[in-house]
Each structure stands twice: as C-alpha cells, then as structure tokens.
C-alpha cells in the first residue's frame, strides 16, 4: 500500500509513542519534503525532531514537483505537497487531518483518513487499546468533536463484544 502522510499523523503518533503501528498497517510511509521540514521545525516537540533527524526505515522523504492541476494556495505547504505527491504517485491513501486539505483531496478523488482513522484501524488489528489511546491524544492539544470520539468508542466496544471467529 502506498501511503502519503501529512505532519499531524506523525506528530501525534510520535507523541503517543505509537509510530510502530504505521509499518504494520501500511508498510512504508512517504512524506513530502515540506512535511519533513515542518516536523523538524524548532517549535516542534523535541521527541518529534529527534525521530525525524534519523527517520525509521519505513519512512521516506520525497521531493515533489510544484506543478499541479488546480490551485492549492489556500492550503499550507505540507498539505499542498501531500496532495501533489499523492496524485503524482497514485497513492492508495493520504493521511491528513486538516479539514480544508481533506476536502481538497476529496475533490481530487484521493482516499484520505486522519490520525483518528489510523488509530481506529490499529485498534481493529489489536495493535493498541483505543479508549486509552484516545484519552492520551485528547490530553494533548489535539481536537476532535465529542460525537466523533463517542462513535469511535461505541464501534470499538461493539467490536470487542463480538464472539471470536469460529476457528474450525
């Protein structure tokens, strides 16, 4: 699976000490140069900058052409490059949280999920405990609507209450 990521997914997963779920779920993650620079900005938490100073083997940084169809000037440079790169390489998935970026990616027929979607997918694969992980991410400066969190927790509870598949 070819996955292009914006900064927020890596930022929060690093803070949660949960980046190990990314290669399990997706194999390799590609980020554009603007995203790498954002993750190394001096105001970014030290733990994020440290990981980005020597990226893990499953994370690669790729330069992106500035030419694209349509105007992306209303988006920040990282979002612009995620969309351009995802289109150029025909990515299977773009990881992006910002609403405007997600909307623009959708207009361009890109499949998008955010950090909460990644966490929910990881919980479905039993790579993390969703309730405790959501508690931790919400204790940071991450914002998510209460109804979205409630729905995620309800889906997780339903999944956990199902009997295990028959193992004949």
Q: What is the pLDDT of residues 52-107, one digit of tens each?
A: 999 999 999 999 876 655 688 889 999 999 999 999 999 999 999 999 999 999 99
Percent of the chain with pLDDT over 90: 88
φ/ψ region of 90 (left if φ > 0, alpha if ψ in -120 to 50, else beta) reads left
3-state DSSP call for residue 124? helix
What is the SS3 assignment for 21-46? HHHHHHCEEEEEHHHHHHHCCCCCCH
Q: What is the pLDDT of residue 101?
A: 94
Is the pLDDT at 30 greater than 90, yes or no? yes
- For residues 118 and 124, give the distance between their C-alpha atoms in angstroms, rounded to a whole number: 10
For the question of whether the overall pTM of this predicted structure is more than 0.85, the answer is: yes
The enclosing H or E element of 60 equals strand 59-62
Q: What is the mean pLDDT of residues 33-45?
A: 94
Which domains can be identified in the chain, with CATH numbers? 2-114 (3.40.50.1010), 117-161 (no CATH)
Residue 4 contacts residue 91 (beta carbons within 8 Å): yes
Which own/partner contact pairs does 41-44 have at CB distance under 8 Å and 24+ positions apart?
44/11
Q: What is the residue-averaged pLDDT of the chain? A: 93
Q: What is the pLDDT of residue 164?
A: 72
- For residues 115 and 37, give the distance between their C-alpha atoms in angstroms, rounded to a whole number: 19
Is the pLDDT at 143 greater than 60, yes or no? yes
């Amino acid at each position: 699976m070819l996955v292009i990521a914006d900064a927020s997914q890596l930022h929060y997963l690093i803070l949660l000490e949960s980046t190990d779920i990314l290669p399990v779920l997706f194999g390799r993650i590609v980020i554009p140069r603007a995203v790498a620079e954002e993750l190394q900005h001096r105001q970014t938490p030290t733990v994020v900058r440290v990981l980005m100073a020597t990226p893990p083997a499953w994370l690669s940084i790729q330069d992106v052409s500035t030419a694209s169809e349509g105007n992306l000037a209303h988006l920040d440079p990282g979002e612009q490059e995620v969309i351009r790169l995802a289109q150029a390489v025909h990515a299977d998935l773009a990881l992006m949280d910002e609403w405007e970026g997600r909307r623009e990616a959708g207009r361009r027929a890109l499949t998008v999920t955010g950090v909460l979607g990644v966490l929910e997918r990881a919980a479905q694969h039993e790579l993390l405990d969703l309730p405790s992980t959501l508690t931790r991410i919400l204790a940071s400066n991450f914002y998510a609507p209460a109804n979205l969190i409630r729905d995620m927790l309800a889906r997780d509870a339903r999944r956990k209450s199902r009997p295990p598949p028959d193992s004949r």
